[in-house]
A and B are shown apart, each in its own frame.
Chain A
Amino acid sequence: MTLTGEFFAFMSLALVAVIGGVLLLNLTKVVHMVVALVFTFVSIAGIYVLLSAEFLAVVQVMIYSGAITIMMLFGIMLTRHHGDEAEPKGGTLRRLFLLVGVLGFGAAVYFGIYDLDFEAVPNTLHENNTEQIGISLFSHYIIPFELTSVILLAALVGAIVLARRDDEKEGDQE
Chain B
Amino acid sequence: MENAWLIPLFPLVSFLFLLLFGKRLKEASAFVGILATLASLVYSILVLLERLESPTHKAEAVWLTIGNLELTAGFEVNQLNALMLVIVSLVSFLVHTYSKGYMHGDERFPVFYAYLGLFTFAMLGLVISPNLLQTYIFWELVGVGSFLLIGFYFYKESAKAAAKKAFIMTRIGDVGLLIGMILLFWQTGSFEYDEIFAAVEEGAISGTMITLTAILIFIGAVGKSGQFPLHTWLPDAMEGPTPVSALIHAATMVAAGVYLVASLFPLFNASETAMLTVAIIGAFTAIFAASIGLVQNDIKRVLAYSTVSQLGYMMLALGSAGYVAGVFHLMTHAFFKALLFLAAGSVIHAVHTQDIEKMGGLWKKLTFTGPLFLIGTLAISGVPLFSGFFSKDEILIAAWAHGNYGLFWLAVIAAFFTAFYMFRLFFMVFTGEARSEMKNVHESPSVMTLPMLVLAVLAVVAGYVNTPWFGAFLGDWLVEGNEALGHGHIAGPGWIMIVATAVSLLGILLAWMMYSKNSISRDWLSSRAPIAYGVVKNKYYIDEIYNQSVVFATKAISLFLRFIELFVVEGLVKLTTATVQALGKTGAKIQNGQVQTYGTIAFVGLAVLMVIYALTGGYL
Interface residues of A in 102-121 (CB under 8 A from B): 102, 104-105, 107-109, 111-112
Beta-carbon contact of B600 and A94 below 8 Å: yes
Beta-carbon contact of B614 and A111 below 8 Å: yes
Q: Does A101 sit within 8 A of B, measured CB to CB? A: yes
Beta-carbon contact of B610 and A109 below 8 Å: yes
Q: Does B613 sit within 8 A of A, measured CB to CB? A: yes
Specify which chain B residues have a CB less than 8 angstroms from the CB of A104 in the assembled complex.
607-608, 610-611
Q: Does A74 sit within 8 A of B, measured CB to CB? A: no
Q: Does B604 sit within 8 A of A, measured CB to CB? A: yes
Q: Does B603 sit within 8 A of A, measured CB to CB? A: yes
Selected contact of A101 from candidates B604, B619, B620, CB within 8 Å: B604
Selected contact of B607 from candidates A94, A101, A111, A112, CB within 8 Å: A101
Beta-carbon contact of A101 and B614 below 8 Å: no
Specify which chain A residues have a CB less than 8 angstroms from the CB of B606 in the assembled complex.
105
Beta-carbon contact of A98 and B603 below 8 Å: yes
Specify which chain B residues have a CB less than 8 angstroms from the CB of A100 in the assembled complex.
604
Specify which chain B residues have a CB less than 8 angstroms from the CB of A111 in the assembled complex.
614, 619-620
Q: How far is the CA of A98 from the CA of B600 in the complex (A)?
A: 6
Closest beta carbon of chain A to B607's beta carbon, Å: 4
Specify which chain B residues have a CB less than 8 angstroms from the CB of A107 in the assembled complex.
611, 614
Interface residues of B in 478-503 (CB under 8 A from A): none
Interface majority SS on B: helix, strand, loop or mixed?
A: helix
Beta-carbon contact of B600 and A108 below 8 Å: no
Q: Does B597 sit within 8 A of A, measured CB to CB? A: yes
Closest beta carbon of chain A to B614's beta carbon, Å: 4
Q: How far is the CA of A120 from the CA of B429 in the complex (A)?
A: 121
Beta-carbon contact of A105 and B600 below 8 Å: no
Number of interface residues of B (CB under 8 A): 14
Beta-carbon contact of A101 and B613 below 8 Å: no
Beta-carbon contact of A105 and B619 below 8 Å: no
Specify which chain A residues have a CB less than 8 angstroms from the CB of B604 in the assembled complex.
97-98, 100-101
Specify which chain B residues have a CB less than 8 angstroms from the CB of A101 in the assembled complex.
600, 603-604, 607-608
Interface residues of B in 560-608 (CB under 8 A from A): 596-597, 600, 603-604, 606-608
Query: Residue of B at shortest CB range from A105?
Result: B607
Given contacts A111-B619, A112-B619, contact A97 B610 (CB under 8 A): no
Query: Residue of B at shortest CB range from A100?
Result: B604
Number of interface residues of A (CB under 8 A): 13
Query: Residue of A at shortest CB range from B615?
Result: A108
Q: How far is the CA of A108 from the CA of B603 in the complex (A)?
A: 13
Interface residues of B in 163-192 (CB under 8 A from A): none
Query: Residue of A at shortest CB range from B590?
Result: A94
Closest beta carbon of chain B to A20's beta carbon, Å: 22
Beta-carbon contact of B614 and A97 below 8 Å: no
Closest beta carbon of chain A to B479's beta carbon, Å: 89
Closest beta carbon of chain A to B595's beta carbon, Å: 13
Q: How far is the CA of A111 from the CA of B597 in the complex (A)?
A: 27
Query: Residue of B at shortest CB range from A101?
Result: B604
Q: How far is the CA of A97 from the CA of B604 in the complex (A)?
A: 8
Closest beta carbon of chain B to A101's beta carbon, Å: 4
Contact with A along B197-219 (1 / 0, CB 8 A): 00000000000000000000000
Q: How far is the CA of A73 from the CA of B613 in the complex (A)?
A: 41
Q: How far is the CA of A109 from the CA of B607 in the complex (A)?
A: 10
Closest beta carbon of chain B to A134's beta carbon, Å: 38
Beta-carbon contact of A108 and B597 below 8 Å: no
Beta-carbon contact of B614 and A112 below 8 Å: yes
Q: How far is the CA of A135 from the CA of B304 in the complex (A)?
A: 110
Specify which chain B residues have a CB less than 8 angstroms from the CB of A109 in the assembled complex.
610
Interface residues of B in 119-167 (CB under 8 A from A): none
Q: Which of B603, B607, B614, B619 has the most CB of A within 10 A?
A: B607
Q: How far is the CA of A108 from the CA of B611 in the complex (A)?
A: 5
Specify which chain B residues have a CB less than 8 angstroms from the CB of A98 in the assembled complex.
600, 603-604
Closest beta carbon of chain A to B294's beta carbon, Å: 84
Given contacts A111-B614, A112-B614, A112-B619, contact A94 B597 (CB under 8 A): yes
Specify which chain B residues have a CB less than 8 angstroms from the CB of A97 in the assembled complex.
600, 604
Given contacts A97-B600, A111-B614, contact A102 B619 (CB under 8 A): no
Query: Residue of B at shortest CB range from A98?
Result: B600
Beta-carbon contact of A105 and B610 below 8 Å: yes
Closest beta carbon of chain A to B343's beta carbon, Å: 84
Closest beta carbon of chain B to A89's beta carbon, Å: 13
Q: How far is the CA of A47 from the CA of B607 in the complex (A)?
A: 28
Q: How far is the CA of A107 from the CA of B603 in the complex (A)?
A: 14
With A94-B597, A104-B610, A107-B611 known, 7 other A-B pairs at CB within 8 A are A94-B596, A97-B600, A101-B600, A101-B603, A102-B607, A111-B620, A112-B614
Report, nearest first, the 7 A-B pairs whose CB atoms are least far apart: A101-B604, A105-B607, A108-B614, A108-B610, A101-B607, A104-B607, A104-B611
List 20 interface pairs A-B (beta carbons < 8 Å), by A numbering: A94-B596, A97-B604, A101-B603, A101-B608, A102-B603, A104-B607, A104-B608, A105-B603, A105-B606, A105-B611, A107-B614, A108-B607, A108-B610, A108-B611, A108-B613, A109-B610, A111-B614, A111-B619, A111-B620, A112-B614
